[in-house]
Homo-oligomer: A and B are copies of this chain.
Amino acid sequence: MSHWHHALNPIGYIDGCFPKKYATPRQPGLAPHAEGRIVLEGAWFQAACRGLEEFSHIIVIFGFQIESISTHATIRPPRFAGKKRIGIFASRSPHRPNPIGLSIVRLNKIESIKNITYLSISGIDMINGTPVLDIKPYVPYADCIPSATASWAQEPARFDVQMSSEAEATLLTLPENVRHLITEIISLDPRDGAQKKNDRTSVFTLLHYDITWTLQGTTAYVESIHLLKDVDSGPRSL
């Protein structure tokens, strides 16, 4: 067995549209309007990002924010509604022997303000505050494999989304990007396991909004969109 010991320290963190876990998409790219930024503090990082603007996409390696390391070799993925166990290495679950996550996201802009470098990214699936460990350029000739196959791991089905007149009125006051984002996230079913079992009506938090909705067949019906009083729980980047 190899020996390898390096203390890993976060280089920065994610500041985005997902203050809580269960409205966060399970993979990157599922919600293209999910925007955020990687915040890198210190002049060193401005130099370390030189040339990165030449790439349309980046690979973000981050630390999962979990309480403790899982020792389970298998998990029951939500895709199979708890009915099937697969190995942790056949899954992108956060509960892994080494809690390292990886997301490929679109890189929209890099700017440095007062020694802080901000990478604006979209298609994110990371919760606010996620510690970033590394950033690599996405190199299509090595990383994009159109012939790759993945059996059951296909893009998830989506709900149709409809708005109540109240929700529609609120939506019209929001920036266009946020309107798209809310629809994208609801279409992906932002419920945890307990909500799926027990509740007809669910609430989730996105940016600084609480969104209440009901599932009717395969249509997600949005009842209301309310601005949270504690806006600090929202992001600063949108």
Interface residues of chain A, those whose CB is within 8 Å of chain B, are 1-4, 6, 8-13, 27-30, 41, 44-45, 47-52, 54-59, 61, 63, 65, 69, 73-74, 85-92, 96-100, 102, 104, 129-131, 133-155
Contact = CB atoms under 8 A, between A and B. Distances in A.
Contacts of A13: 1-2
Given A92-B136, A98-B134, A87 B52 contact: yes
Nearest to A8: B98
A84 to B, nearest CB: 8
A142 B98 contact: no
A172 to B, nearest CB: 31
B6 A1 contact: no
B50 A137 contact: no
A50 B98 contact: no
Given A13-B1, A48-B74, A97-B9, A153 B136 contact: no
Contacts of A149: 55-56, 140
B145 A57 contact: yes
A2 to B, nearest CB: 4
Nearest to A14: B2
Given A55-B153, A97-B134, 6 more contacts: A6-B63, A45-B73, A54-B151, A56-B150, A140-B145, A143-B144
A51 B86 contact: yes
Among A8, A56, A63, the most chain B Cβ lie within 10 Å of the Cβ of A8
A40 to B, nearest CB: 9
Contacts of A136: 89, 91-92, 102
Contacts of A2: 10, 13, 63, 129-131
Contacts of A144: 143-146, 148
A63 to B, nearest CB: 4
A133 B143 CA distance: 19
Nearest to A44: B73
A1 B8 contact: no
A22 to B, nearest CB: 19
A34 to B, nearest CB: 13
A145 B106 CA distance: 10
